[in-house]
Amino acid sequence: MGEAETPSFEMTWSSTTSSGYCSQEDSDSELEQYFTARTSLARRPRRDQDEPVEWETPDLSQAEIEQKIKDYNGQINSNLFMSLNKDGSYTGFIKVQLKLVRPVSVPSSKKPPSLQDARKGLGRGTAVRRRTSFYLPKDAVKHLHVLSRTRASEVIEALLRKFLVVDDPRKFALFERAERHGQVYFRKLSDDEQPLRLRLLAGPSEKALSFILKENDSGEVNWNAFSMPELHNFLRILQREEEEHLRQILQKYSRCRQKIQEALHACPLG
């Protein structure tokens, strides 16, 4: 049980959906589409608004934790048991469903530089900077073996490491989903919350509680989470949008001014 001091992450793959790749060299137009789509969606009212819900997370005594673990293990129909450690912590499994609608970034395959690249002075540094856009399988499911003190932020980081995702973890968030009285409720977990503890309190029922990894789409854009190429691309998009808006405004006032002048010429003198 001494190994419990180091959080462990064991994941199982349970999706057969294929994934798509595209080169970062051809991604400027795609980044523009994703940015435009995101801003458009941000302005669009949601029909299915996620309703916030607060879970009760009481502090449990050691005896209560032991009893809850026994009750939990007696209700599951698999070998994904929870185990109590000598130090009072416990380990177990949580299932996370991935619901990502945008691609993630992974490193391109690091092939050794060719002779032509070497002559041009292109070495390993150039290859490392290349990235590939990758669509994770839709509705993929991961089982993670975690400690009771493993935080939500660590779960996100572990999921990203599994797929070699190089995007900033702050672009993603872990959500709770629960069904109550025919209604579905969502809540975004804070970085310091402990998913396994929430799993134990809710029991093994997926309707009572399940975990979902989604994009961290809050009202404000966290620009610090984007890379320099992405930020430069966004600036170009904003400049083009600004120029287009200015052109439309100038045309509008020019037409209005022309109509006023035509009306003045049409008025009889005196």
**Mean pLDDT, the chain, whole residue set:** 76
pLDDT, position 268:
77
pLDDT, position 270:
59
| CB of 193 closer than 8 Å to CB of 151 | yes
- CA–CA distance, 185 with 200 (Å, rounded to integer): 19
In CATH, what number does 62-105+129-220 get? 3.10.20.90
pLDDT, position 175:
95
Domain ranges of the chain: 62-105+129-220, 226-265
pLDDT, position 43:
40
pLDDT, position 56:
58
pLDDT, position 109:
65
* Local structure of 210: helix, strand or coil: strand
- Over the chain (270 residues), what is each successive 10-residue block's mean pLDDT? 42 38 39 40 41 62 94 92 94 93 78 47 49 78 94 95 86 93 92 95 94 81 78 86 93 93 82
pLDDT, position 236:
87
pLDDT, position 121:
47
- Global pTM reads 0.58
